[in-house]
Structure 1
Amino acid sequence: MNVERRKKTADGKWEDWKPLDIRGNYLPFATSTDFRFEPEDPSIADFIVNGLMMPKLRAFDPEHYPKVDDAELSLAKIKSQVDESARKDKDKLKQSKPRTKQDTFDVFSPAPVASGTTGEGPGMAPPAFNPVGTVGAGGFVPGAPAMMMPGLAQGQDVEPAVHNLVRFIDVDIQPGETYEYRVQIRMGNPNYKRTKDVASPAYAEGAELLSEWSKIPMVLNLPEEQSCFLIDQRKEDEKTFKGFTSEDSKRQVPMQIHKWFLNTGAATQNLSVGDWAVAERVSVFRGEFVGRQVIAKIPLWIYFFEGFGLLPPKIVKGGTVATKTGDGILVDFSPDRKDRPDFLLVDFEGPEYTHDRVKTAGPDAKPVVSKVEERDRIIEAYIINPLGQLEVHNIVSDRDNATRKAMLEAYRIRVKKAEDFMRGGGAGGTTPFGS
C-alpha cells in the first residue's frame, strides 16, 4: 500500500500531502524486537491479506494494544462478516448427524470407519480454516496453511471475503499534533508486458495497478505528552501516602504531573521507559512552572533480563543486594519538546480551611476557635498550558477525573510489578542481581 500524511498547522490549516515511509520508519523498531510480533486474533484471520496488514510489534505488556473488539471488530463490515462466518459454521454443525458403526459399515472392508459429527460426509470434521481464493494444484489454497482442503478440486473457486482489513502503523509522530492520512492500494499487474494477450495495449502498461486514494477521513489527534492536575494526593491516600508532603499552604498549592517517557536519566545513561510516569504530589508557587525534577519510582527496561525493574537497588553493609527495591531516581517532569513550554501556574484561590468552628465549655468559658478542613473545599487554579491557552482547574473535578485516576492506577500497578521483578525476577526466585 501507499500511505500519505499531512499535518495541521497552528493556524488550523493543513500542510501538503507527503509520502510516509512506513517500512523505513518501522524497520528499526522491528529490528530492536528481533522481529517478534503479536499474534493476531483468530477471529480476523480470514480477512488478512498479505501486504495490507502491518504486524504489531511484540510488547512486554500486550495491554498497550487495543483489544480486537475495540479495534478491528469495531469496523461494522468486518464484524458483520465475522458473525456471518460463525453463523454458517454453526449451521453446518446443526445439519450434520452423528453416524454409528452400523451406518458406516462397508461390507467390502474390514476396517472400521470413524463415526462422529461431520461437515460433509461420515467421520469427516469440518476444516477450521475458511479458504479464500482459487484452489491450486494438489488442492491447496494460496495463502492458506499447508493443508489439503477436502472436497476441493484444482481450479475450483471458494468464497472470498467481501471486505478485508488494512492496517498501517505510523511510528514517526509527535505528541500534541493532528495528522490526517490517506491510503492507496497497489497490486501487481498480471498483464504487464503481455501486449498480445490483452484487449487493449494499455492493460499491459505499468508493473502495478493502483487504486484511488481513500476518501474516508482518517484524522488522528495526539494528546500532549505531559498533563497536570490540581489534586492533593496525600489527602486522597491519607495514611498510606509516602511522597513529598510539606509546602507553604498560603503560597503554594499541591499538584500532580503525568508525563510520557521514552527514556530518562542522564544523557550517558539513556534508560528506557516507554510509558507514562506520575509525580504524585508536587508543590507549586504562583508564577512558577509546574514541571520539575522529582525523585520518583519509574520502571526501567532491563535488557539482559527482558523485564521492567527499579533502580537503584538497596545495598546493605555486607555488599549484597537487599530484597527491598530502590526508592527511585531523579526524573525530569518538564516537557522534552523545545517548542512546547511548560504549564505555568498563574494563580490559585480558595482557603486551606473553609470555616471556623467555635466551641465553649460553659456560659462563662472563653470560646475556642478551631479551623475545620473539608475534603470538598473549593480550590481553583489558573494555568497557562503549553499552547498558550488559559485553563481553570477545580480541585473537585480534577480529583474525580476518570483519566487521571486510571493513569495513576496503571502507573502504580507497573511500579508494583517492577518491585516484584526486582525481588524475585531472576532464575530460581532470585533477584536479577543474583541474590
Structure 2
Amino acid sequence: MPAHVIDSHLFRDMYGTEPLRAVFADANLVQCWLDYEAALARAEAAEGLIPTEAAEEITARARVENIDFAALKEGIDETVHELVPLIRQLASRCEGDAGRYVHWGATTQDVTDTGLVLQLRQAHGHILHDLQALSGELAALARRERDTVMPGRTHGQHALPITFGFKVAIWLDEVRRHIERMHQVEPRLLVGQFAGAVGSLASLSERGPAVQARLMAELGLAMPAIGWHPARDRFAEYGVLLALVAATMGKIAHEIILLQKSEVAEVEEPYRRGKVGSSTMPHKRNPMLCEGILAEARLARGLVPTLLGAMEAEHERDWSAMHVEWAALPEICILAGGAVAHTLQAIRGLRVDRKRMRRNVDLLHGLMMSEAVMLRLGEFVGRQTAHEIVHEASMRAFEEERPLRDTLLEDEHVTRHLSAQEITDLLRPEAYIGLCTYFVDQVLANSTEE
C-alpha cells in the first residue's frame, strides 16, 4: 500500500506525473542496474577480460522481466544489501558458466550510482521537455498580452501601470534561464562510475581505463577524471537546480493566486465544469491547481538541506549518504517535475480578464499616475518640491476618496505650471507604461520557441 502522497492512488497526480513516477519505480531502477551489468560485461569482453559468449549471455538475461521481485526483496532483507541478491539472481539465470563473470571488477556503488544517473537522465528529459513547452506557452501569452494595461504593484499596493505581457515576459526570461541551467548541468551530472572497491580500480589495474571508456560509451555517459564514490556534489547540485526550478513555478503560481483574488479578479487558473471549490460554499472557484504547485515548490525546497547533508560522506564510501540520495533525489525530481507540468497546465488554460485589469487601473482614480505628474511638475520646481506637492494632493485624494485630478487642480502650486488639459493627459495610464512593450519585444526577440 502506498504510504506517501507521491505514490498515493488518490493524490499522486497532485504531486507529480506518471512518467516521472515510472522513472523511479522499482522495475526501472532494477533495469538500470541490469543495464549497467550488461554493459560492463560487453566492455570487458571487448577488452578480452571475459569471454564474448559470457557477455552475450549476461546481456540476454539482464532483463527486469527475468527477475523474481519477491525473492529479490527477501534477499535484500536477509543480506541487508541492495545489490548482492540481484547479482545472484542474474548469475543464476545465465546458462553455462557465464554467471561467474557477472559484476566482474565492479563494486556495488559503481552500479547504484550509475543506475541513479541513468534514472536522472530520464527524469531530466521529461522535466526539460515540459520546461521548453512552458517557455513556448509563456512566449505566446506575453505576445498576446503585450499591450494589456494592468496595475503594477509594489509592496502589495498599486504602483505604476504596466502591461500583463511585461509581467509574463519576466516569467519567461526566468524560465529560459532554467532551461539554460538544465543544459549546463548535463556534463557534470551525466557521468558514470566504474572505480572498484575504494575508487582505485585495483581489480582491473592498467586495463581499467579501457574498460571504463567502453562501459561509459555503452551507457552514453561521460567518463569521470577520477572515481567519485565519496564526492556527492553532482547529485546535490542537481537537487539545488530542481529546487530553483520549482521555486519559479511556485512564484508564478502564487502570482496567479494573488491576481485571482475576488477583489482583484484579473486572471483565473483553468476552470471546467465539475471542478468544485468548497464542500460547503457552492460559489467558490478556488485556485486549487496553483495552490498545489506552490505546495510542490515548498516541498522540493525542503529537500535541499537533506541533499547538501549527504555530501558529508566519510572516507572512500559512506552508505548513509547513498540512502539519503535514494530517498531525496526521486522525490525532488517528481515534485519539481510535477510543479513544471502543473504550471504548464495552468498557463495553457489561464483566463485573462483584460477589462477587469483596465478597471483596476482606475481603481484609485488617478493616484497610480502621481509619478508622471511629479516629474513633469519637477521640471519647474525641482523633483523634491514636486514630490511634496503631489504627495499632499495624493493623500487628500486618497483620504477623501476623490480623483487625483481634482485635488491637483485645487492646488495653485500645480496650476501655476500645469494646465487642466496637461494634468488630464498626464493622468492617462496608457501614456505611462514606460518601456513595457519594448522589454516584451526584447525578450520575444530572443525566442527559441518558434
The answer to whether the superposition gives a TM-score over 0.5 is no
Report TM bin, short chain.
under 0.3
Per residue, is there more helix in 1 or in 2? 2
Question: TM-score w.r.t. structure 1 length?
Answer: 0.21
Question: TM-score w.r.t. structure 2 length?
Answer: 0.20
Larger radius of gyration: 1
